[in-house]
Amino acid sequence: QMGKNLATLLRMHRIIESVKNYAHFSINDECTPTSLISILEDVVCICSNQIRLAGINIDWTGIPPALVIPCRSSELHQVFVNLVTNSIDAIKDLAERWIRVDAQESADMNMIIIRITDSGEGIPPLVRGRLFTPFFTTKPRGIGTGLGLSIARKIINGHSGKIELDDHSRNTCFQITLPK
């Protein structure tokens, strides 16, 4: 019983720390080197209940452990929470439910390329051009605001990077490119 209580307390502590990391925001924050894995651990912790209830497998084992991104981490938390939540909503009723996060350095070693792919069959061509438009949503009325991807683009642009839908992926895949 004591071990179970300790495990519960440790899990609660981890969730609280993840939410604090996600919620921290200051316009004056400088970009600081941050481990991509630590950001993803927080994101998965924040979304863990949704992931578990939907029976989704999330994998980021392909990310180099030493990969560090100069960023305002609270803002990247927001981008990744949005992308993971969108994936969960899109695939929760599919037979195959997975999300994969991959990252690598660009060939010239100046950029970090992060790909978030889910088991969805992609975004219909008619919707693609409007994905990053404020207030555009494909979710049922009352479910989404249509601001998530436009805010994500603004954050990534503020980091001198870019976010885009990979039209060549068989599955739904967003690619984020950030300067190293």
How does pLDDT run across 139-172, given as a tens digit for each residue? 766 676 677 898 999 999 999 999 999 989 999 9
pLDDT above 60: residue 13: no
40-48 average pLDDT score: 90
The pLDDT value recorded for residue 104 is 93
Quote the CA–CA distance of 132 and 165 in Å, as a whole number. Answer: 10
Residues 49-82: tens digit of each pLDDT: 999 999 999 999 889 988 999 999 889 999 999 9
Would you tell me how many other CB atoms lie within 10 Å of the CB of residue 71? 26
